[in-house]
A and B are shown apart, each in its own frame.
Chain A
Amino acid sequence: MKSTKLAKSELVKLFMRPAIYFLTGFLVVALILVSIIYNPTPRENNQVDFGTINQTVSDVFSVFNDSSSTDKDAKINIDKNLNEAYNRLNTFNTASDLRETIITKIEKIQTFMTQSSGSGFYNLLITLANNPNDENARKNFINALSVLREDALSIFTFLDTEINSENIDFYITQNQLIEIKDFFYKLATIIAREAYLQTYQSDELINLGNRISEDYDVSLVIEKLTSYKKIELNQDSVNQIINKYYNKIVYTGKLVSSTYDNQSGINTTNDEKNENNENQNESQEDITVLDEIYTQAVLFVSKNADSKESKDIDDLNLILTQYKNASIISTNLINASFAIEKAKGYSDKEINNYIGFSGFNSGTYKEQIQLNEYLLNNKIFDGKYLNNFNINSTIGTEVSAYDFAFFAMQILSFVITIFAIFFTVSSIAGEQAGGTMKMLAMRPYTKTKIITGKLLSCICFSLMFVVIASITSFVVGFSLFGLGSEGNIVVVFNSSFAFELPAILVFIIYLIMLMFNIIFYIMVSALLSVILRSTAFATFITFIIYLAGIIINAVWANTTWYVFLPFAHLDLFKYFGGASSSPQLFGINTILDGNFLVSLIVIIGLILIMDVATKVIFKKRDIS
């Protein structure tokens, strides 16, 4: 007989279990709790909003253009932010050299310590050694010691305070830095304060001096520092970045003159612009994005300068918002590319060891780039898409049923998974212990088909409950919040492709990826059931593994051994734009050197292996 026939009978039997009422009850309670605690921060709409009552359109424009303004939305500050990002990128290679600075400081100490003439430390030590009773020699040496102490301390302080993630320009790990800091700290502390030094006898001073000379070889430190590779940006890449993300966007003041003459509307089509090319000096390439937007604003103002209508003021603000957002997009692109350039040649795991790169996640930056390039290429300059899709905030600027459904499903899926585990274990280990499995053994189904049938029924059951829970969540969300205004989400897939999808499709993708997760745990519980044969043990251990997965994902996602665990691959939805979101409730969000295809293969592979193992073990062992 076909295992689907058995699966159907098992499914019917499953729904007759009293535990189903518990499951429904739990879900209802969970949904109620979620409704109570759900309080998302709606997306910022990032709108520029200049203009008080009684101002004309041209007044508002002046406020925007006010070059002494401190308002973050004023043009002067928008342009400043963009230019700062540009400068950081452009001048990185030629900026002052932190590593050289440190080496120079240390070289000074080295010189001081090893100088065998004049007031060098070593010289004064020799002098004292030869004339231990010479009071002058003693005083001079004490002086030298104090100077050395000061210098060492100052280097230590410099290393301690001046190296941070912003200005680091060479690759050094935390441990390596500590080693060097330690060196100078120890050097400073073995030398007592001057007042105390004065009490030292000459021989004590000589001993101290010798110890210092022997144990503190500064040249080794310099060697180490020199060996640490400098962070250098490939100038070609930098130029590319500047070309793509700055030159084409930045405000240059060139206004599209043809649009001055144009009577018809704000936006001119490309065709019209090309026709007018002969009338202009500049070619199309010279007009940057910000130039274009600014021109629109100018044109609008020229038509409606004296209007005090709120609609006109709103329209102007809309254009100014576009200006601001286009600039932010450019900044984001520059910053993300900058970060990736600095980490070039290293995997995420490797680079995380270095100062200035801890928590570095190339997936996040790549997603940023894909997202912002998409917005740029499609001229989407309203603020709603500026931050990547994030399950803990909202899709649009208002809370919608989709947002609620996403959030609710995270909690409900936890409940559903627990019950899926429970039902799988019951259906295998439970029936074995309870003796009903032997009643199944006599039916015309091979042992393999028995397992297949049971697994299919558990998977079907989970799917049904996922669908029911989703629809219910959506309905509840709809009654609480309505549909909201935004329909589409820009999804970045695998940190490589950005595209717009309707929210409902993204939700369905989320549910499909959720099913992979649930099926994985069903397989784990089935395998443990046939091995352990005890309902209690199999449920307990699978539950522990599930919990461990959640906790490890939340806490240790950045460690080196994390990627070898299957947990690293269980949340497939993170590849749909998850890297740059803040951590989800019950899932990981960091794609660390990750790839959708790899994770998919790992999960499917593990599921298949567990499937085969379960069936083999079940077949070999007697049922009772």
Chain B
Amino acid sequence: MEQQKSRDETIVLKVKNLTKKYGERVAVNNLNFDIKKGEIFGFLGANGAGKSTTMKMLSGIANPTSGEIFICGKSLTKNFEKAIINLGGMVETPQFYPYLTGFQNLKYFASLYSNISKQKIMDIVALVGLSVRINEKVKNYSLGMKQRLGIAQALLHNPKILILDEPTNGLDANGIREIKSFLKKIARQRGTAIMISSHILAIMEDVCDRVCIIDKGRIVETKTISEIKRRYTSNGTHYIKTNAPNYAGMILEKQFAIKCKISGDKVLLTTNEKDLARIIIKLTSFKIPIFGAGEINYSLEDIYLNVVGVDNEIK
């Protein structure tokens, strides 16, 4: 019982049977998930899967058709103000008042809460890396700068959970790197839970503790990254790329009793680096051309495509 209770206290966001219908079309279908304190939770899905819609419902932008949302234990429908104050968000492209400077925009949002000092605003500006250009009018900002400002406005009031919809949109490689370390930092240091959605899997892989895959409005699965990876590594740890994979595989199995799988032009097998070198020499002695070999890097992309299916039409 106590364990349950303390677990509940660390649950920052709880979504129960969340559904959103637009007329006949069901955009979000019976979602259930929890996010814990300090956790970075990834929301993974194709365009139109329902990620943004879900996030809009969480941030109070859209009304759920049915279901419940609890932020820090407070119901969003019954206790909106007390619930939403724990949440900061950036859903779709962040929009600001173009005739105001970045700072004036932040000051306006800060004034909607109590006691957010100018110093605090400047601290957050420094945190997102906008100190140099914060006093320029937003209409002159690039998309990347607006993204940073978007994150800044979400952090002003020290929310317990941050909802970020495609936060790396418009950022260059440097920016993406910064964002990743930034997110990890605030999750670990401040204990802020973060929910991010993206279709750029490289980022999710690097940053998320757990990932929820959503397709056609439904959750397909929710697992930690390591859990997902573990499942697929049963396919093999290393690969050998050749133009005669079937022949190579047959040789390996018959001659060396090594179990392997064939995937396209790759032979997949479970082994280690040392043994791999010996296998390559052996295969070469059979005059099998080898174009590449190494450790299989299971990207979330492979997993995702595997799970969701390559055949994915736009709806």
Of B63, B82, B84, B99, the residue contacting A622 (CB under 8 A) is B63
CB-CB under 8 A for A16 and B99, given A444-B113, A446-B80: yes
> Using a CB-CB cutoff of 8 Å, which residues 4-62 of chain A contact chain B?
5-6, 8-9, 12-13, 16-18
The reply to whether A18 and B99 form a contact with Cβ atoms under 8 Å apart is: yes
Residues of A within 8 A of B104 (CB): 16
Interface residues on B, range: 20 to 34
Q: A453 → chain B, closest Cβ, in Å?
A: 9
Q: B69 → chain A, closest Cβ, in Å?
A: 13
The reply to whether B56 and A624 form a contact with Cβ atoms under 8 Å apart is: yes
CB-CB under 8 A for A17 and B61, given A445-B112, A446-B81, A622-B56: no
B18 at the A interface (CB under 8 A):
no
- Kindly state the separation between the CA atoms of A312 and B99 in the bound complex, as whole angstroms: 71
B181 at the A interface (CB under 8 A):
no
Residues of B within 8 A of A8 (CB): 111
The reply to whether A435 and B93 form a contact with Cβ atoms under 8 Å apart is: yes
The reply to whether B108 and A9 form a contact with Cβ atoms under 8 Å apart is: yes
- Kindly state the separation between the CA atoms of A35 and B94 in the bound complex, as whole angstroms: 47
B217 at the A interface (CB under 8 A):
no
The reply to whether B99 and A439 form a contact with Cβ atoms under 8 Å apart is: no
CB-CB under 8 A for A12 and B108, given A436-B97, A442-B84: yes
Residues of A within 8 A of B97 (CB): 13, 436
Give the residue name and chain of the B residue nearest to A446 (CB): B80
A434 at the B interface (CB under 8 A):
yes
Residues of A within 8 A of B88 (CB): 442
- Kindly state the separation between the CA atoms of A257 and B60 in the bound complex, as whole angstroms: 89
Residues of A within 8 A of B61 (CB): 438, 441-442, 622-624
Residues of B within 8 A of A17 (CB): 99
Residues of A within 8 A of B153 (CB): 439
B237 at the A interface (CB under 8 A):
no
> Using a CB-CB cutoff of 8 Å, which residues 35-91 of chain B contact chain A?
56, 59-63, 80-82, 84-85, 87-89, 91
The reply to whether A444 and B91 form a contact with Cβ atoms under 8 Å apart is: no
Residues of A within 8 A of B99 (CB): 16-18
B95 at the A interface (CB under 8 A):
yes
The reply to whether A622 and B108 form a contact with Cβ atoms under 8 Å apart is: no
The 8 A CB mask of B156-184 against A (1 = contact, 0 = none) is: 00000000000000000000000000000
> Using a CB-CB cutoff of 8 Å, which residues 89-125 of chain B contact chain A?
89, 91-97, 99-100, 104, 108-109, 111-114
Residues of B within 8 A of A5 (CB): 111-112
Residues of B within 8 A of A435 (CB): 92-93, 95
- Kindly state the separation between the CA atoms of A444 and B156 in the bound complex, as whole angstroms: 13
Give the residue name and chain of the B residue nearest to A10 (CB): B108
The 8 A CB mask of A417-440 against B (1 = contact, 0 = none) is: 000000000000000001110111
- Kindly state the separation between the CA atoms of A483 and B233 in the bound complex, as whole angstroms: 94
Residues of B within 8 A of A441 (CB): 59-61
A555 at the B interface (CB under 8 A):
no
- Kindly state the separation between the CA atoms of A573 and B155 in the bound complex, as whole angstroms: 51
Residues of B within 8 A of A620 (CB): 63
Give the residue name and chain of the A residue nearest to B59 (CB): A442
Of B63, B87, B96, the residue contacting A442 (CB under 8 A) is B87
Of B91, B92, B96, B109, the residue contacting A443 (CB under 8 A) is B109
- Kindly state the separation between the CA atoms of A489 and B91 in the bound complex, as whole angstroms: 60
A1 at the B interface (CB under 8 A):
yes
- Kindly state the separation between the CA atoms of A16 and B99 in the bound complex, as whole angstroms: 8
Give the residue name and chain of the A residue nearest to B57 (CB): A622
- Kindly state the separation between the CA atoms of A402 and B99 in the bound complex, as whole angstroms: 39
Residues of B within 8 A of A446 (CB): 80-81
Residues of A within 8 A of B113 (CB): 1, 443-444
Residues of B within 8 A of A622 (CB): 56, 61-63
Q: B200 → chain A, closest Cβ, in Å?
A: 23
Q: A17 → chain B, closest Cβ, in Å?
A: 6
Give the residue name and chain of the A residue nearest to B101 (CB): A16
Residues of B within 8 A of A438 (CB): 56, 59, 61, 91-92, 95
CB-CB under 8 A for A16 and B112, given A442-B89, A446-B81, A623-B62: no
Residues of B within 8 A of A6 (CB): 112
Residues of B within 8 A of A443 (CB): 84, 109, 112-113
Give the residue name and chain of the A residue nearest to B22 (CB): A622
Q: B159 → chain A, closest Cβ, in Å?
A: 9
The reply to whether A1 and B100 form a contact with Cβ atoms under 8 Å apart is: no
Residues of B within 8 A of A18 (CB): 99
20 residue pairs of the A-B complex, CB under 8 angstroms, read: A1-B81, A1-B112, A1-B113, A13-B100, A17-B99, A435-B92, A438-B91, A439-B95, A439-B109, A440-B112, A441-B59, A442-B60, A442-B61, A442-B154, A443-B113, A444-B80, A444-B113, A445-B81, A446-B80, A624-B92
Top 5 nearest A-B pairs (CB, nearest first) are: A435-B95, A622-B62, A444-B81, A444-B85, A9-B111
Write the residues of chain B forming the contact surface with A, with a CB cutoff of 8 angstroms.
56, 59-63, 80-82, 84-85, 87-89, 91-97, 99-100, 104, 108-109, 111-114, 153-154
